[in-house]
Amino acid sequence: MSSVPSTPERPLQAAGPVLELQGIDLSFGGIHALHGIDLSVAAGEIRAIIGPNGAGKSSLVNVISGLYRPSRGQVWLGGQPYAHVPTARLAQLGVARTFQNLALFRGLSVRDNIALGRVEHTRSTVAEQLLGIGRARREWVDARERAAEVIDFFGLGEIQQRLAGTLSYGQQKRVELARALVARPQLLLLDEPLAGMTVSEKGHMAQLIRAARDRWGTTIVLIEHDIGIVLGLSDRVAVLDYGRKIADGTPAEVSADPAVIDAYLGVAHEGDEPDVPASELPLAEAA
């Protein structure tokens, strides 16, 4: 893996956060999912959002990617405020995301799935594509090269011709991440990127995430359940509980925060499933 970081497509803002949430409130169907969330994400950092089940983590990512419209508050992306992030323009804004339940295009090969991540840069018309001339040709070559770079990075070379629907779960997760990265996004939202993986797969994936940030300078926001790995991976962590942010800081600060410990351990919340095995309690980790 090359250790020389290549610069992202759009130059990073020298100052100012890549993403900022101000007073985000979200309600739907009688459920008040998020209360007044403030969050800021600095350029190039790996920011984790953790919290017990039902804390609102997925809702938050959906708000950031424009799938949910917050009832109050603003999302600042690239210095621009949005009451409702335009999902169709996410790629244009330099934002990419993955999905918890895998959102691959099962009918396309791995390589085509990944190359599709470059769609934002498509300017050629259908006619040009049909004839394979001009812009279409350049874009085709460009997409292939970018895809090859990312495929190489993720070690997907051997399976790149296979249909995405035929891969194992872990492989699919990597392909989805690769597709998100091929566009060299400024901001990458990862929705439970480690879910459903074995311990070794998780470690490998975490390494890939960190390496991707190091190589391409992408700012990463990720939600995860596996606190142990996340605390080791992230630069800063925000903790949600019942739709509110209860802690925000470095992994060390957060894992020592009594409020956080309470949220996971102590006071029995109705309907909570204890999803944190004892060995992975924040207390057990020395940050």
Element (H, E) at 174: helix 169-182
DSSP letter assigned to residue 153: H
Q: Do the strands 219-223 and 187-191 form a parallel or antiparallel pair, or are they unpaired?
A: parallel
One symbol per residue from 199 to 238: x for binding another protein (CB under 8 A), - otherwise; what is it? Answer: ----------------------------------------
For the CB of residue 47, give the shortest distance to another protein in the complex, in Å.
19
The answer to whether 85 and 66 are in contact (CB under 8 A) is: yes
One symbol per residue from 105 to 134: x for binding another protein (CB under 8 A), - otherwise; what is it? Answer: xxxx---x--xxx-xx-x-x-x--xx----
**Burial of 100 (C-beta count, 10 Å sphere; 0-12/13-18/19+):** middle
Reported in sequence order, the residue ranges of 138-259 that DSSP labels E, i.e. its strands, are 187-191, 219-223, 236-241, 244-249
**Of 88 and 268, which has the nearer Cβ to another protein?**
88
**Of 120 and 253, which has the nearer Cβ to another protein?**
120
Task: Rule CB under 8 A: choose which of 104, 190, 240, 254 binds another protein.
Answer: 104
Q: Do the strands 219-223 and 95-97 form a parallel or antiparallel pair, or are they unpaired?
A: unpaired
**Of 1 and 119, which has the nearer Cβ to another protein?**
119
**Of 74 and 122, which has the nearer Cβ to another protein?**
122
For the CB of residue 20, give the shortest distance to another protein in the complex, in Å.
21
How far is Cα 166 from Cα 159, in angstroms, rounded to an integer? 10
Instruction: Please identify, among the stretches 7-15, 99-107, 154-162, 247-255, the one whose residues bind another protein according to the rule CB under 8 A.
Output: 99-107
How far is Cα 131 from Cα 136, in angstroms, rounded to an integer? 8
Residue 33: phi and psi, rounded to 5, are: -80, -35
The answer to whether 117 and 180 are in contact (CB under 8 A) is: yes
Residue 28 found at the interface with another protein (CB under 8 A): yes
Site residues for another protein, 140-179, by CB under 8 A, read 140, 143, 179
One symbol per residue from 35 to 54: x for binding another protein (CB under 8 A), - otherwise; what is it? Answer: --------------------
**DSSP state letters, 195-224:** TT--HHHHHHHHHHHHHHHHHH--EEEEE-
**Of 117 and 251, which has the nearer Cβ to another protein?**
117
For the CB of residue 209, give the shortest distance to another protein in the complex, in Å.
19
The contact set with another protein (CB under 8 A) reads 28, 58, 61-62, 65, 67-68, 87-88, 90-92, 96-97, 99-101, 103-108, 112, 115-117, 119-120, 122, 124, 126, 129-130, 136, 139-140, 143, 179, 183, 191
